[in-house]
């Protein structure tokens, strides 16, 4: 009897313990549930609808009927067979590499400068950077448009006054020229974020390490390469992958600066291609397919950086 | 850098469209209210005409009110698409005449053929506007008003340059441009006739003047025809005229900058565009501004101009189609069309036409191909891109026209 009673109590104690453990174990899941729920509603469901839409013929006609027509992978097929798509991908990749490269290198240089300059200069530069960052995109585009305008542009006027150029130079004459302007605008707008972040990261570089390297006779370039850069690597990886995401899908600046009436397949970037095919031509199914393809390309482009980032995280 | 927010927003809009379709249903608020979408032109130009129509309508239909909502040309179609998806579209909508076909073909509008006889002067409607509101033999859009393109010029500048008689042929106009350029050579960037390089409305007038056309249809298929000898002759004439007369950007359009701004700042002796450009020529030139009809290459004849205009349609999803047609009848009455004419517009019927420059120019006009996918040619900037290539010399007229023509063929056939 006693043995039996003992076993029961042992059992029930163990069960109680298990329940307590389960209860304690489920707390994190309960805590994370709202976030998962919100993300699911905000990301997973729209993504699901996007995939559904990309498999349908959904033009103005279907929009009015409120009913798409299943066409399998036809949207993807027609996009992948479109010369314009491949040219646009190539152009956008080159554009992204140029933008991200200039942003990161420029931001790094400004950050290094900020460490060296005197206090009040740093405050001035910082203030300037924050002002750039604070300027709404559309306003910035208008200012740039005003400066590079053909008819009354300030840039042309200054160049003409300095006898360096033509009063009526057409900055939109070639795709290279107009996309270069867009690049300048985007890099200009992105520099503050990168520069200030890198400046903050630079202040984390231990002074004694730099000193030790200098005492050992390392030149500044060597110190930068072997001491500063490795410490900055995680933040550089994050900034680079974020910049790739932003610049690959950039829309407002090129669309407004090139001007809707001057956009044509010869100067498309991906997001503009998406907008023209999906919204201007009211072919929503094709638009959805393009946005999914963009997702794949961006994922492929940032794969390297994200993987490295995860590795860096594991080491630490 | 914050552009990803925008892309996300775009995606969200795309998705919203789909999500909305799921919940869309036929039931509308049953309030006795007729919703009308007009363009802002009516709000700023002729609110009295709108008020007169509303008064007539509410007298005929006691207990009903009219809610006029003013829209902008730039985004009214995107807004309309959203209401088509959401099921809350207006009862009446104003559409640009080049915008009609795509929507008629997609079944967005109600067939109002049976009410045609009730509309004033419907037997004499302007051919171009009646055509842009008709699809497959059915009437979907009531002609509202039209506007043609004319030359707005400075009488003082012309007199100073020794131009005693207004040009009556393209050659005379080009000669006048040379005189104006010589007289004003001290003003940097001065245009005798300011025309934006990619102003395709103006450039295509040359094509039609020389007997060419943008596209033709045969056997149900569209064929771009800018590569025909006549079209190429027209495009070449446009190029020569532009190079002689305009110092505008070869790649920009007729809205950036607005030609009347260039004119008002003294940068041009003449500009080409809608008749209402005379509104905004600035105080300095107000008293010395007049207009004439763009001359053809054939002496004494007008060059066919683009006939812009508006149609009024009833969306198929409207719950008040009969009432909407009734409002259209009140809005396009003879009195109202006369009032529109008094504001410098072209009324919707030939029996109302007067003798203003605007109306004389409308006598010879052309219109875009009545193809379902025409609007994609416009939005794809095929014509603008071709003009930029021609004017900058990137391609010869023949090469640019051939490539644009191929493009137009494939877009118009929905490929």
User: Phi-psi category of B188—alpha, beta or left, where left has phi over 0 and alpha has psi -120 to 50?
Assistant: beta
- Please check whether residue A73 lies inside any domain of the structure: no
Question: Measured between beta carbons, which residues in chain A are less than 8 angstroms from residue B249?
Answer: 150-151, 168, 170, 172
Q: How many domains does chain A have?
A: 2
Largest distance between two CA atoms of chain B? 69
Question: Measured between beta carbons, which residues in chain A are less than 8 angstroms from residue B103?
Answer: 60
**Which of A100, A269, A282 to substitute to test the interface with B, most B CBs within 10 Å?**
A282
Q: Specify the pLDDT at position A16.
A: 62
State whether A159 and A215 are in the same domain. Answer: yes
Which of B350, B366, B382 is a domain's end point? B366
Q: Specify the pLDDT at position A281.
A: 84
State whether B236 and B102 are in the same domain. Answer: no
Cβ of A61 within 8 Å of Cβ of B189? The answer is no
State whether B159 and B135 are in the same domain. Answer: no
Contact between A309 and A241 (Cβ < 8 Å)? yes
State whether B85 and B178 are in the same domain. Answer: no
State how far the Cα of A33 lies from the Cα of A39, in Å rounded to an integer: 10
> For residue range A193-234, what is the model confidence (pLDDT) as tens digits?
999 999 999 988 888 988 899 898 888 889 999 899 999 999
Cβ of A46 within 8 Å of Cβ of B15? The answer is yes
Nearest neighbour of B81 by CB, restricted to A53, A168, A282: A282
Please give, rounded to a whole number of angstroms, the shortest distance from the CA of A199 to a CA of chain B: 18
State how far the Cα of A87 lies from the Cα of A89, in Å rounded to an integer: 5
A188 part of contact set with chain B, CB < 8 Å: no
State how far the Cα of A198 lies from the Cα of A232, in Å rounded to an integer: 8
Q: Specify the pLDDT at position B110.
A: 95
Residue A62's closest chain B neighbor by CA?
A: B106
State how far the Cα of B377 lies from the Cα of B412, in Å rounded to an integer: 7
State whether B165 and B258 are in the same domain. Answer: yes
Cβ of B4 within 8 Å of Cβ of A245? The answer is yes
Question: Measured between beta carbons, which residues in chain B are less than 8 angstroms from residue A177?
Answer: none
> For residue range B200-252, what is the model confidence (pLDDT) as tens digits?
999 999 999 999 999 999 888 999 999 999 999 999 999 999 999 999 999 98
Q: Specify the pLDDT at position A23.
A: 66
State whether B157 and B127 are in the same domain. Answer: no
Residue B386's closest chain A neighbor by CA?
A: A264
State whether A23 and A138 are in the same domain. Answer: no
Give the CATH number for residue B288: 3.40.190.10
- Rounded average pLDDT over B131-149: 92
- Please check whether residue A39 lies inside any domain of the structure: yes
Please give the radius of gyration of chain A, using alpha carbons only, rounded to the nearest integer.
28
State whether B158 and B298 are in the same domain. Answer: yes
Give the CATH number for residue A141: 1.10.3720.10
> For residue range B351-410, what is the model confidence (pLDDT) as tens digits?
898 888 888 887 778 888 888 888 889 888 999 999 999 999 999 999 999 999 999 999
State whether B167 and B294 are in the same domain. Answer: yes
Specify the 3-state DSSP secondary structure of B93: strand
Q: Which residues contact B332 (CB under 8 A, 6 or more apart)?
A: B119, B120, B142, B143, B144, B312, B348
State whether B159 and B140 are in the same domain. Answer: no
Cβ of A52 within 8 Å of Cβ of B376? The answer is no
Q: Specify the pLDDT at position A1.
A: 44
Cβ of A287 within 8 Å of Cβ of B106? The answer is no
State whether A307 and A164 are in the same domain. Answer: yes
Cβ of B376 within 8 Å of Cβ of A137? The answer is no
Residue A63's closest chain B neighbor by CA?
A: B85
- Please check whether residue A69 lies inside any domain of the structure: no
- Please check whether residue A63 lies inside any domain of the structure: no
Residue B63 has pLDDT above 70, yes or no: yes
State how far the Cα of B343 lies from the Cα of B345, in Å rounded to an integer: 6
State whether B201 and B322 are in the same domain. Answer: no
Helix (H) or strand (E) holding A248: helix A229-248
Contact between A272 and B10 (Cβ < 8 Å)? no
State whether A136 and A14 are in the same domain. Answer: no
State whether A46 and A87 are in the same domain. Answer: no
Of the pLDDT bands very low, low, confident and very high (cuts 50, 70, 90), residue B327 is very high
Cβ of B384 within 8 Å of Cβ of A261? The answer is yes
Of the pLDDT bands very low, low, confident and very high (cuts 50, 70, 90), residue B5 is very low
Residue A59's closest chain B neighbor by CA?
A: B106
- Please check whether residue A46 lies inside any domain of the structure: yes
Mean pLDDT of chain B: 88
Q: Specify the pLDDT at position B136.
A: 87
Q: Specify the pLDDT at position B151.
A: 95
Cβ of A172 within 8 Å of Cβ of B17? The answer is no
ipTM for the complex shown: 0.78
State whether B134 and B215 are in the same domain. Answer: no
Question: Measured between beta carbons, which residues in chain A are less than 8 angstroms from residue B24?
Answer: 66
State whether A124 and A262 are in the same domain. Answer: yes
Cβ of A243 within 8 Å of Cβ of B12? The answer is no
State whether B313 and B303 are in the same domain. Answer: no
State whether A87 and A50 are in the same domain. Answer: no
Largest distance between two CA atoms of chain A? 110
> Can you give the residue range of the structural domain that contains B123?
3-147+308-366
Determine the angle formed by the axes of helices B76-86 and B3-23, rounding to 10 degrees: 40
Give A 74-113 residues with CB within 8 A of chain B: none
> Can you give the residue range of the structural domain that contains A172?
83-315
- Looking at chain B, the whole-number percentage of residues with pLDDT higher than 90 is 65
State how far the Cα of A283 lies from the Cα of A264, in Å rounded to an integer: 17
Q: How many domains does chain B have?
A: 2
- Report, as ranges of residue numbers, the positions in chain A whose pLDDT lies below 70: 1-23, 313-316
Cβ of A64 within 8 Å of Cβ of B317? The answer is yes
Q: Specify the pLDDT at position A259.
A: 84
**Which of B5, B14, B411 to substitute to test the interface with A, most A CBs within 10 Å?**
B14
- Please check whether residue A253 lies inside any domain of the structure: yes
State whether B99 and B160 are in the same domain. Answer: no
State whether A182 and A144 are in the same domain. Answer: yes
Cβ of A274 within 8 Å of Cβ of B198? The answer is no
Beta-carbon pairs below 8 A across chains A and B: 145
Nearest neighbour of B189 by CB, restricted to A67, A168, A189: A168
Cβ of B250 within 8 Å of Cβ of A190? The answer is no
- Looking at chain B, the whole-number percentage of residues with pLDDT higher than 70 is 92
């Amino acid at each position: 009897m006693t043995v039996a009673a003992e076993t029961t109590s042992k059992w029930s104690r163990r069960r109680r313990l298990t329940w307590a453990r389960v209860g304690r174990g489920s707390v994190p899941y309960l805590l994370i549930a709202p976030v998962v729920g919100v993300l699911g509603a905000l990301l997973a469901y729209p993504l699901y609808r996007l995939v559904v839409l990309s498999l349908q013929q959904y033009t103005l006609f279907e929009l009015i009927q409120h009913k798409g027509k299943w066409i399998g992978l036809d949207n993807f097929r027609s996009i992948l067979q479109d010369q314009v798509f491949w040219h646009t991908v190539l152009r956008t990749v080159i554009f992204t590499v140029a933008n991200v490269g200039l942003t990161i290198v420029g931001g790094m240089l400004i950050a290094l400068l900020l460490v060296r300059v005197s206090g009040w200069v740093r405050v001035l530069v910082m203030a300037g950077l924050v002002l750039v960052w604070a300027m709404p995109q559309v306003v910035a585009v208008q200012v740039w448009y005003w400066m590079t305008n053909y008819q009354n542009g300030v840039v042309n006027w200054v160049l003409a006054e300095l006898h360096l150029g033509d009063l009526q130079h057409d900055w939109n004459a070639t795709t290279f020229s107009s996309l270069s302007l867009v690049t300048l605008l985007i890099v200009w707008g992105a520099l503050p974020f990168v520069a200030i972040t890198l400046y903050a990261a630079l202040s984390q570089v231990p002074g004694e390490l730099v000193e030790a390297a200098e005492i050992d006779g390392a030149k500044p370039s060597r110190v930068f390469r072997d001491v500063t850069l490795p410490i900055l690597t995680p933040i550089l990886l994050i900034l680079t992958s974020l910049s790739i995401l932003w610049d690959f899908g950039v829309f407002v600046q090129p669309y407004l600066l090139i001007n809707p009436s001057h956009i044509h397949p010869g100067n498309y970037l991906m997001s503009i291609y998406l907008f023209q095919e999906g919204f201007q031509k009211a072919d929503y199914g094709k638009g959805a397919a393009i946005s999914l393809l963009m997702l794949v390309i961006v994922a492929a482009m940032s794969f390297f950086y994200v993987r490295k980032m995860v590795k860096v995280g594991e080491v630490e | 850098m914050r552009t990803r927010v925008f892309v996300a927003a775009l995606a969200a809009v795309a998705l919203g469209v789909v999500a909305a379709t799921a919940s869309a249903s036929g039931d509308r608020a049953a309030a006795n209210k007729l919703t009308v979408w007009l363009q802002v032109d009516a709000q700023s130009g002729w609110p009295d005409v709108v008020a007169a129509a509303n008064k007539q309508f509410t007298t005929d239909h006691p207990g009903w009110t009219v809610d006029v909502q003013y829209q902008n040309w730039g985004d009214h179609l995107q807004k309309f698409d959203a209401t088509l998806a959401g099921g809350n579209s207006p009862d009446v909508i104003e559409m640009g005449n080049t915008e009609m076909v795509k929507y008629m073909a997609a079944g967005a509008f109600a067939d109002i053929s049976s009410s045609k006889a009730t509309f004033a002067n419907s037997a004499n409607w302007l051919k171009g506007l009646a055509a842009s509101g008709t699809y497959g033999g059915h009437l979907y859009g009531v002609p509202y008003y039209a506007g043609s393109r004319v030359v707005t010029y400075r009488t003082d500048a012309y007199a100073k340059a020794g131009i005693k008689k207004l040009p009556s042929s393209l050659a005379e106009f080009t000669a006048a441009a040379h005189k104006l350029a010589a007289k004003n050579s001290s003003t940097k960037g001065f245009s005798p006739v300011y025309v934006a390089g990619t102003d395709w409305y103006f450039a295509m007038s040359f094509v039609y003047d020389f007997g060419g056309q943008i596209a033709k249809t045969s056997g149900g298929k569209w064929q771009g025809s800018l590569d025909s000898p006549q079209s190429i002759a027209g495009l070449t004439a446009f190029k020569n005229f532009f190079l002689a007369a305009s110092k505008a950007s070869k790649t920009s359009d007729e809205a950036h900058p607005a030609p009347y701004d260039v004119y008002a700042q003294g940068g041009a002796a003449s500009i080409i565009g809608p008749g209402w450009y005379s509104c905004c020529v600035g105080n300095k030139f107000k008293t010395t501004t007049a207009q004439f009809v763009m001359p053809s290459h054939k002496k004494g004849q007008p060059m066919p101009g683009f006939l812009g205009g508006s149609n009024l349609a009833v969306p198929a999803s409207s719950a008040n189609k009969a009432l909407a047609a009734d409002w259209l009848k009140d809005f396009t009455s003879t009195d109202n069309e006369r009032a529109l004419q008094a504001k410098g517009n072209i009324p919707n019927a030939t029996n109302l036409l007067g003798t203003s420059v605007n109306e004389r120019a409308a006598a010879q006009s052309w219109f875009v191909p009545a193809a379902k996918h025409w609007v994609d040619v416009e939005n794809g900037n095929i014509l603008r891109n071709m003009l930029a290539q021609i004017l900058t010399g990137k391609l010869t007229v023949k090469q640019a026209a051939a490539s644009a023509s191929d493009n137009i063929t494939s877009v118009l056939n929905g490929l």
